[in-house]
Amino acid sequence: DSGVTQTPKHLITATGQRVTLRCSPRSGDLSVYWYQQSLDQGLQFLIHYYNGEERAKGNILERFSAQQFPDLHSELNLSSLELGDSALYFCASGHGFYLEDEQFFGPGTRLTVL
């Protein structure tokens, strides 16, 4: 158990809908990273927050947004969902400030868009 929690574990929704994924980092970690894992693309970096501030963006679609709250938990919002958004979404947390610092992954949220 990495100490990172993610809810919900599974999410099934329809095209065009909006969902929110939640992540609580390990105690003491200030960084939260979001990733998408699909069979064809593998693990892809989406976005990084450090202590409430956005630090870096990766391959994140404009339909997706995220934020990190004062208590350091983070939410990833996915809107206007498409079939291709079906994937595993992981958050990771770390103590460091940089993208290349050690990251500890949560158990993931499996999103299915029908």
Binding site for other proteins (CB under 8 A): 2, 4, 42-45, 48, 56, 58, 90, 92, 98-100, 102-108, 110
Residue 85 CB, shortest distance to other proteins, in Å, is 19
Assigned token pair, 30: 């200030």
Residue 14 CB, shortest distance to other proteins, in Å, is 23
- Identify the three-state secondary structure at position 59: coil
Among residues 15 and 59, whose Cβ is nearest to other proteins?
59
- DSSP letter at 58 equals -
Residue 95 CB, shortest distance to other proteins, in Å, is 13
Contact 76, 57 (CB under 8 A): no
Residue 106 CB, shortest distance to other proteins, in Å, is 5
Among residues 2 and 77, whose Cβ is nearest to other proteins?
2
Among residues 18 and 101, whose Cβ is nearest to other proteins?
101
97 closest CA partner among 35, 28, 50: 50
Contact 88, 78 (CB under 8 A): no
Among residues 42 and 70, whose Cβ is nearest to other proteins?
42
Residue 112: count other Cβ atoms within 10 Å of its Cβ: 13
